[in-house]
Amino acid sequence: MTAELEILHWIHSFSSPGMDALMLGVTTVSTHAAVWLLAAALLILSNRERRTGCSMVLAVLIAFTIADLVMKPLFCRERPCDLAGFELLVSVPTTYSFPSGHTAMAFAPATVLFLRDRRAGAVALAFAALVGVSRMYLFVHWPTDVVVGALVGIVSGYVAALLTERAAARWGRGPPGGAEG
């Protein structure tokens, strides 16, 4: 954990009031996957991208199940803020650290978007990466928590997209990626 602690200190070396506000804002809008579920709801309401929105919701649910309901209780890893006296900008989370649920639930819908639209997906993946950085900047996750959270999210996104396409094909719901018939 010494190398991981050094990485956290390096990330936090960029600290400033503006950076604090940015990282706090990124973490806040991604709590409970709020920004992602809002985007998914808007897509579901559109006729052209309903399937993408549904895939995003499914991806978030899969990522949440794997990261928060299975892995966190299984590994019981303490957070950096529990082991060292860091001054936190957020309240101390009550769940375990490994893996990062925020990161998993950011990469999952971002991966779905990337599979549907490379340009929008690249922006979404960049924001998902920023979510992971924000969790480390705020001293609530170790770097390995974020890396594994990203991997859980990517796999969840692929699985959700695959399941959604298979369901659409089975029930004759039009071409992949969007419009239903």
> What are the residue ranges spanned by the domains of the chain?
18-83+92-170
Q: What is the DSSP string of the chain?
A: -HHHHHHHHHHHTT--HHHHHHHHHHHHHHGGGHHHHHHHHHHHHSSSSHHHHHHHHHHHHHHHIIIIIIIHHHH-PPPHHHHS----SSPPPSS--SS-HHHHHHHHHHHHHHHH-HHHHHHHHHHHHHHHHHHHHTTSS-HHHHHHHHHHHHHHHHHHHHHHHHHHHHTT--STTS---
pLDDT at 175: 53
pLDDT at 92: 79
Q: What is the pTM of this model?
A: 0.90
pLDDT at 17: 93
Q: Along the 181 residues of the chain, how does pLDDT read in single tens digits?
A: 689 988 988 998 898 999 999 999 999 999 888 999 999 999 999 878 889 999 999 999 999 999 999 999 999 998 888 876 677 777 778 888 899 999 999 999 999 999 999 999 999 999 999 999 999 999 889 999 999 999 999 999 999 999 998 988 888 765 554 444 3
pLDDT at 68: 96
